[in-house]
Amino acid sequence: MIGTAELAQPKTPDHALTVAYAWEVLHTVLDPEVPVMSICDLGIVRDVQMHGERGLNVVLTPTYSGCPATEMIATQAENALDAAGFSPVNLTTTHAPAWSSDWISAEGRDKLRRYGIAPPGPAQQGQDIVLRYMPQGRESNQVVSALECPRCGSNNTERLSAFGSTACKALWRCMACKEPFEHFKPF
């Protein structure tokens, strides 16, 4: 993986402007809400194609249509690619197909766990999604299966809130180690 200091260096034959190099650069762009994961780990980068000798066409899919970090992610991706020598960089944001938490890489799921966020389970694509209005209190936790605590591994957990620090996460607590943690919701 290429660090930011390396990106500022002049290009050499080792840094030919290729699609593979563009992907390496995009792997250095961290998600602003979960800064241990790249936008590639999250599956936000959907496609990268060369456009001429130095230009790129990049397709991004935000994690959800109302994500407040969408513009920041696009700007950071464009700046990183520009600093690496790609020009022009044409970014396209698409909402179809909709992003799925199934697009998170295996490495990204491990990074979430190590960061203290329970990774999402499968999104169960192809099945109807049932919208439930849940009552407050312990009864609401029965609809959602217990999660494994990312800190101690216990399954003795409970959901405290359907929403965590962002709309794409829920707040949980481990009853074994008593630590709160967030769960990245499956979409």
Does pLDDT of 136 surpass 50?
A: no
Residue 35: pLDDT band (50, 70, 90) is very high
Asked whether residue 22 falls in the same domain as residue 70, the answer is: yes
Domain membership flag for residue 86: yes
The CATH number of whichever domain residue 158 belongs to comes to: 2.20.25
Residue whose C-alpha is closest to residue 25's, from 106, 70, 93, 82: 82
pLDDT tens sequence across 148-173: 999 999 999 999 999 888 888 899 99
CB 88 within 8 A of CB 55: yes
pTM greater than 0.85 = no
Asked if 21 and 80 sit in the same domain, the reply is yes
138 and 60 in one domain? no
Q: Is the pLDDT of residue 112 over 90?
A: yes
Q: What angle do CA 71, 1, 51 make, to 5 degrees?
A: 55
Say yes or no to pLDDT of 13 above 50: no
Q: Are 164 and 170 in contact (CB under 8 A)?
A: yes
Residue 64's CATH number: 3.30.300.130
Structural domain boundaries, residue 147 = 118-184
Residue 18 is which amino acid?
A: T
Which letter, b or e, does each residue of 159-178 get, where b requires 16 or more Cβ atoms within 10 Å of its Cβ?
A: beeeebebebbbebbbeeee
87 and 124 co-located in one domain: no
The total number of structural domains in the chain stands at: 2
pLDDT, one tens digit per residue, over 37-96 is 999 999 999 999 999 999 999 999 998 888 889 999 999 999 999 999 999 999 999 999
46 lies in some domain: yes
Looking at residue 127, its pLDDT comes to 52
Q: Does a structural domain hold residue 98?
A: no
Q: Please calculate the CA angle 73-78-82 and round it to the nearest 5 degrees.
A: 150
* Residue 179, in any domain of the structure: yes
Residues 58, 13 share a domain: yes
